Amino acid sequence: MAKKEKKKKIKLNLRIKRGLLLLFSIGIIGLSSGLFILYGPFSWVRNTLITTAMTTMSHQYLARWFFSDEYINKVLANNYIIETNETTNPDLIDMPDIDSSGQYASKYEKDIFEGVDENTIYKKIYVKGTGYDGYIIAIYKPEKVKLAVSSKLGTEGQTLKTLAANNNALIAMNASGFFDPTWNGNGAIPHGTVIKDGRVIYDYQDAQVGGGFIGFDKNNKLILGKMTKEQALAKGMRDGIEFGPFLVVNGKPSFIKGDGGWGIAPRSAIGQRQDGIVLFVVINGRNYKAGILGIDMVGLTEIMMNYGAINAANLDGGTSSALLEGQELVNNPISSSGSQGVLRRIPTAWIVTE
């Protein structure tokens, strides 16, 4: 066999293996039973396969293997998210007042406040639901939340461990997505505008991912809004990125039809409660043997609402979703090929500093 033909066969086998991993994520294990599930009465399986594949982009061929473009477009038309056009009203947010009464209105409030005092910087909370698990970091001193950026921004991204080490971070979580036309990029070019310390340090206008500006103003309040960089700076934004979609703005959740059109995958998100406490959320996925598939926009919004977020936004997901405590990897990032503990090079990260 010619070398060129052999390489093509290896590449095709790898694509098939990666495709099967995604199919396993929605329970398609046997060929005959898989075909029944795909074309039978279980529409949620078809919807999940299509929205997940079409969102990952590198696996769009999976949906097109089984379904026509017409059917795919029909499914996508019934799974979408409509974000509010409101911009965050910072007057709705007060700075943290730690509840040390021991009386909690719900399990979620207990998770937030139990064992916490005025000296607590952050608390790690384990969360688990149907098909997912992950972590929430509740941050009680929002002034310690900063944006870390690659020291080679525009040329090369850096792993979350490098970004955390370079900024002496207590906690680090991935932030914006990045321009990656081949889906094998180096995390160099962040989608949209990046604001750091009150000035624009990068501006690439090709986000097209919903949402808008996600950032903290000089009063340490999370600001979400569809606005220009000039408007963001006028609102006093000190650190910000562009991404989305927005999940909650001014206490109002986005309207989500079906799974929101983003499928089920590992996710990262950021939010802030009315009392000022900041929430980092990182959800695991793609661990098919353990039944940890990931979460859709409905579930991610529910987590934020349950834990009291008045403003919340989705961040980059998939293999990029990662959480560090110091230099220790807290979650379990898994690539689309099944490799565990993978840290992609990324342009930006949200961190909690000393």
Higher pLDDT, 43 or 72: 72
**Does residue 67 sit in the same domain as residue 208?**
no
pLDDT in tens, 86-101: 999 999 998 877 877 7
Q: Tell me, what's the pLDDT at 298?
A: 92
**Does residue 221 sit in the same domain as residue 160?**
yes
**Does residue 93 sit in the same domain as residue 40?**
no
Q: Is the pLDDT of residue 78 over 50?
A: yes
Q: Binning pLDDT at 50, 70 and 90, where does residue 55 land?
A: low
Q: Tell me, what's the pLDDT at 288?
A: 84
Please give the Cα distance from 213 to 229 (Å, whole number). Answer: 8
Helix, strand, coil % over all residues of the chain, rounded to 5: 30, 30, 40
Cα–chain center distance at 177: 9
Q: Binning pLDDT at 50, 70 and 90, where does residue 263 land?
A: confident
**Does residue 186 sit in the same domain as residue 238?**
yes
Mean pLDDT of 167-185: 86
**Does residue 45 sit in the same domain as residue 103?**
no
Q: Tell me, what's the pLDDT at 26?
A: 42
Last residue of a domain, one of 78, 103, 130: 78
Q: Binning pLDDT at 50, 70 and 90, where does residue 207 land?
A: low
Across the chain, mean pLDDT equals: 84
For residue 61, the SS3 value is helix
Q: Tell me, what's the pLDDT at 208?
A: 56
HEC sequence for 140-176: CCHHHEEEEECCCCCCCCECHHHHHHHCCEEEEEECC
DSSP code of 289?
A: G
pLDDT in tens, 214-260: 999 999 999 999 999 999 999 999 999 999 999 999 999 998 887 77
Q: Tell me, what's the pLDDT at 58?
A: 55
Please give the Cα distance from 79 to 73 (Å, whole number). Answer: 10
**Does residue 227 sit in the same domain as residue 279?**
yes
**Does residue 91 sit in the same domain as residue 39?**
no
Q: With the C-alpha atoms ordered 30, 321, 262, 259, is the resulting torsion angle positive or negative? A: positive
pLDDT in tens, 7-23: 444 444 444 444 444 44
Q: Binning pLDDT at 50, 70 and 90, where does residue 343 land?
A: very high
**Does residue 210 sit in the same domain as residue 302?**
yes
Q: Tell me, what's the pLDDT at 193?
A: 94
**Does residue 250 sit in the same domain as residue 263?**
yes
Domain that holds residue 253: 82-353
Q: Tell me, what's the pLDDT at 48?
A: 67
**Does residue 12 sit in the same domain as residue 94?**
no
Q: Count how many domains the chain has.
A: 2
**Does residue 176 sit in the same domain as residue 103?**
yes
Mean pLDDT of 279-294: 92
- Which stretch, 180-189, 316-325, 332-341, has highest mean pLDDT? 316-325
Q: Tell me, what's the pLDDT at 57?
A: 53
**Does residue 192 sit in the same domain as residue 300?**
yes
pLDDT in tens, 126-143: 999 999 999 999 999 999
Please give the Cα distance from 307 to 19 (Å, whole number). Answer: 35
